[in-house]
Amino acid sequence: SIAEYPIPSTLDTESTNVLDLPETGPLLQEFVPVLNLASGPEDSLNPDGLNMITGLLHVISAPNNSTNSDSFLLINAENWYDTGNYEGRPPTQTTAVATNASNLDTSTQPGFWTQDGAANSAGYMGRIPEIFQQAFGSARFYTGWSTCYSGISRYSIGPSLWSLDPFQVFAEGDDNNQGTRQLETIPYMNYGYDFEFFDQSDKYLGGPRAVEWAQQGTIGPFPPASPLWNPLSRGVYGFFVPGTRTFAVIGSTDGLTTGIGYKIVQDDGYECGGPCAFGVDDRYNYYWLYDVDDILASEDVYDPQPYQYGIWEIPFGESGTYRILGGTIDEEHGVLYVALENQDYPRYADDAKNRPLPIVAFDLRDLSPAAHS
């Protein structure tokens, strides 16, 4: 579901106590289950049962959409668990559209599309700065994703970057048979899963160590996981840093000191249902910074390497206790908004489901952080 909240007018609090942060106030638009609004034949109504929204793109002015709206939302989505697009298996649908971003409750959702990159590309989205658009084939928008949920064989083993034209969803002559509809996406950075050489592929970010873990039944601790990229690394939001030549990706990683094992018993006695770090506290918020020139000059899409990466001690992140869930950027004002996991608000002790997410706002013009919840 998607809702719209107002942004508080004051974001300059210097408090380090999450209880002191201003709250957003009443909803501007109530939650709407956008993935279940598809119209058309029965077999076009979310046929793959997508249940996780992975990215949103607010686009101003939608030509030929016949909705009389001045903007729309492009929505990337997937299933939390999927074993991947194995050879011979068609990719799942990846993308939907809410035709009226200003009134989600009355918006139509004319079926689903599949991006060329499938789950390799269908996550975070944004605008390509005008200075780079020609180099990206005159594309104005981008999309990308990484190993964020269960079933890494469907993903790019490292953050990806693809160009995207969101107006394709309103192309003339396109019918509502969503099973035949494809969105062209062009890869510029992608570390695709290698079915033939899964555990030794040099095409992953960081090479074979990116998929390295101890087998089930092994007793930890284990060798430290790769600090560049490992099976628990998640790049949840990528963006062009305003006024720079940097494409930044933020998210989290685990296992840097105690290693990673599959369905192991952690140091507190908890038995994991999949891969996890041996140390319960061995988790960190993280960043990866790429030079756009390096991405554009790379011979292969798996060649780009970040010029810097590491632990990000983000305010209210409590040294990785509360992971980065996502982000968005206000390009006009140079503000980066980063959403963190729910925290322990005493006043929501009996209503954990409705605890507000802390959102940290960074002024990228001087890198001074402010926050609201």
pLDDT digits (tens, 9 = 90+) for 129-150: 999 999 999 999 999 999 999 8
Confidence of residue 18 (pLDDT cuts 50, 70, 90): confident
pLDDT given for residue 368 in this prediction: 40
Q: Name the band, by pLDDT with cuts 50, 70 and 90, for residue 70.
A: confident
Residue type, 327: G
Q: For residue 45, what pLDDT band results from cuts at 50, 70 and 90?
A: low
The predicted model gives 214-234 an average pLDDT of 96
Which of the four pLDDT bands, split at 50, 70 and 90, describes residue 115?
very high
pLDDT of 315 above 90:
no
Mean pLDDT of 223-238: 97
pLDDT of res. 319: 79
Q: How would you class 42 by CB atoms within 10 Å of its CB: exposed for 0-12, middle for 13-18, buried for 19 or more?
A: exposed
Residues 284, 365, 244, 134, CA torsion sign: positive
Per-residue model confidence (pLDDT) at position 322: 87
Sequence-ordered alpha helix ranges (H) in 190-344: 292-297
Distance from C-alpha of 208 to C-alpha of 171, rounded to nearest angstrom:
41
Class of residue 334 by CB neighbours under 10 A (exposed 0-12, middle 13-18, buried 19+):
middle
Listing DSSP states for 319-341 in one string gives TTTS-EEEEEEETTTTEEEEEE-
Q: Which amino acid is at 30?
A: E
Q: Going by DSSP bridges, is the β-strand pair 114-115/182-183 parallel, antiparallel, or unpaired? A: parallel
* d(C-alpha 90, C-alpha 85), whole Å: 7
| Averaged pLDDT, 278-301 | 97
Cα–Cα distances (Å) from 351 to 31, 156, 219, 345, in that order, read 18, 37, 38, 10
Distance CA 346, CA 352 (A): 10
Q: Hey, what are 339's tokens?
A: 């959403």
What burial letters (b/e) apply to 212-224, b meaning 16+ CB within 10 Å? bbbeeeeebbbee
